[in-house]
């Protein structure tokens, strides 16, 4: 099934690295025609995301840029800026994550574009927005993790701040930006008017952290310190078994009783500190010490059998290597394989969202740099001689293997 609710919507992708490409990747998943404008230097993620057979397509780049066409333009050249203006004119959505000052110099900021094209949906993803003392400063995911207190959560728990080893701020902010664009497109369908959207990573992720960890300080006066004490418990982590690690959670009274019985702690069934949700909330530290104690008497597989039989949420704690072999992921075909035009056989991650019992078709693999340059220039009215002149000037670059 081709689930393409955005078919007919064209997105001009002026983004790079992770947060912007994640946003436009999501729109491409829904059928939008995404045209990625890439500089001659190339998207940093082509190499930063790890090695590859040609050195030009890291695995991360492949996954974040699936389903997009690629045009290579040097926006420092006048001819390239004219080509971008033509692309703006035919696009419904413009997404950018360059610094606002750079966009203004190029005339590609929201105010400039929507003054000429008020029907466009323009989304700017920034580190810190366009107001406030941090506006315009550069940032990356790890910097946002630190600035929002996310890294500091482990300082409160373990005594040392640490980064989540995942580009979580980029992913969350990119997905939120995609959702905002969908909302603006719905409004435009009714009104005919576009919108200027701004998604600042710092505020977005600060809100993400505070929704859980403002906690007792959500009230005036506060009823306790900030932080969800369950999540900040040093015992809130995977539990060791005789041959590995297991992840499980017990929250309801019925789950707690079943857990104590299955793990041979029947004597604790009468302990009033753990008898109810409210009691466990008052005795968080003690309860999580019990819950997080090692289960080294049996293997991970044996514990999974017992816990699942008791209707307790439990799964093995995978490594990055073992996750790829998880039987459920294999059964549903999350990771597929395909042939890339320059990298050979590569892994492809299909959509995780099912519509009418079917997953949307896998979008085309991420393109080599400049793969669609000539075709796109033709679409926006350039003749053969004009294309060759633009290529000769350095304003555009093309991958001739695509011809």
> Based on the domain organization, do 54 and 160 belong to the same domain?
yes
Q: Same structural domain for residues 24 and 163?
A: yes
Written as six digits, the tokens of 288 are 């999580």
CB atoms within 10 A of CB 55: 9
Range of the domain at 255: 239-316
Residue 37 is assigned to a structural domain of this protein: yes
Same domain membership, residue 243 and residue 151: no
Give the pLDDT confidence of 243-279 residue by residue, as tens digits: 999 999 999 999 999 999 999 999 999 999 999 999 9
My answer on whether 292 and 363 are in the same domain is no
CATH number of the structural domain spanning residue 247: 3.30.1540.10
Task: Please compute the mean of the pLDDT values over residues 303-328 and round it to a whole number.
Answer: 97
Mean pLDDT score of the chain, rounded to an integer? 96
User: 346 lies in a domain?
Assistant: yes
State whether 70 and 191 are in the same domain: yes
Single out the residue in 255, 282, 316 at which a domain terminates.
316
233 occurs within a structural domain: no
Same domain flag for 262 and 351: no
Q: Structure tokens of 232?
A: 């900040």
Report the number of distinct structural domains present in the chain: 2
User: Does residue 47 sit in the same domain as residue 153?
Assistant: yes
Residue 3 lies in a domain: no
172-185 pLDDT tens trace: 999 999 999 999 99
Residue 109 tokens, joined: 């900021």
CA 185 → CA 100, 118, 193, 377, distances in Å?
23, 13, 9, 26
Q: Tell me: do 87 and 182 sit in the same domain.
A: yes
What are the phi and psi torsion angles at 199 (to 5°)? Answer: -120, 100
Model confidence at 353: pLDDT above 70:
yes
Q: 25 with 158, same domain?
A: yes
Would 223 be classed as within a structural domain? no
| Secondary structure, 3-state, 53-108 | CCCCCCHHHHHHCCCEEEEEECCCCHHHHHHHHHHHHHCCEEEECCCHHHHHHHCC
Of 302, 346, 328, the residue nearest 54 (C-alpha): 346
Specify if 74 maps to a domain. Answer: yes
pLDDT tens track for 38-72:
999 999 999 999 999 999 999 999 999 999 999 99
CATH number at residue 81: 3.40.50.10540
Domain annotation covers residue 155: yes
Closest CA to 9 of 120, 106, 142: 120
Report if residue 229 sits inside a domain: no
């Amino acid at each position: 099934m081709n689930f393409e609710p955005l078919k007919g919507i064209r997105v001009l992708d002026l983004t790079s690295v992770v947060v912007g490409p994640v946003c436009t990747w999501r729109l491409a998943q829904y059928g939008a025609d995404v045209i990625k404008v890439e500089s001659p230097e190339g998207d940093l993620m082509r190499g930063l995301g790890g090695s590859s057979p040609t050195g030009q397509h890291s695995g991360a780049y492949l996954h974040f840029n699936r389903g997009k066409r690629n045009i290579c333009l040097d926006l420092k050249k006048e001819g390239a800026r004219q080509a971008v203006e033509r692309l703006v004119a035919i696009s419904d959505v413009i997404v950018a994550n360059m610094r606002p000052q750079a966009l203004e110099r190029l005339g590609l900021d929201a105010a400039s574009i929507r003054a000429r094209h008020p029907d466009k949906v323009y989304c700017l993803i920034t580190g810190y927005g366009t107001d406030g003392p941090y506006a315009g400063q550069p940032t990356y995911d790890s910097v946002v993790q630190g600035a929002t207190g996310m890294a500091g959560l482990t300082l409160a728990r373990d005594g040392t701040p640490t980064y989540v080893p995942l580009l979580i701020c980029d992913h969350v902010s990119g997905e939120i930006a995609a959702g905002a664009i969908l909302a603006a497109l719905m409004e435009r369908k009714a009104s005919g008017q576009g919108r200027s959207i701004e998604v600042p990573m710092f505020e977005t992720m600060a809100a993400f952290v505070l929704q859980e960890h403002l906690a007792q300080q959500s009230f005036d006066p506060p009823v306790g310190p900030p932080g969800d004490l369950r999540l900040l418990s040093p015992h809130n982590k995977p539990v060791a078994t005789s041959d590995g690690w297991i992840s499980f959670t017990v929250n309801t009274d019925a789950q707690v009783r079943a857990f104590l019985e299955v793990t041979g702690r029947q004597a604790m069934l009468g302990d009033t500190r753990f008898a109810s949700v409210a009691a466990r909330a008052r005795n968080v530290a003690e309860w999580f010490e019990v819950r997080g104690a090692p289960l080294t008497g049996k293997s991970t597989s044996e514990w999974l059998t017992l816990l699942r039989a008791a209707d307790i949420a439990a799964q093995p704690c995978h490594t990055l290597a073992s996750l790829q072999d998880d039987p459920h992921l294999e059964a549903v075909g999350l990771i597929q394989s395909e042939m890339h035009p320059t990298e050979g056989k590569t892994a492809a991650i299909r959509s995780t969202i099912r519509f009418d019992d079917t997953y949307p078709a896998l979008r085309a693999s991420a393109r080599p740099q400049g793969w669609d340059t000539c075709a796109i220039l033709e679409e926006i009215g350039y003749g053969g001689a004009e294309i060759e002149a633009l290529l000769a000037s350095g304003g555009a670059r093309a991958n001739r293997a695509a011809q």
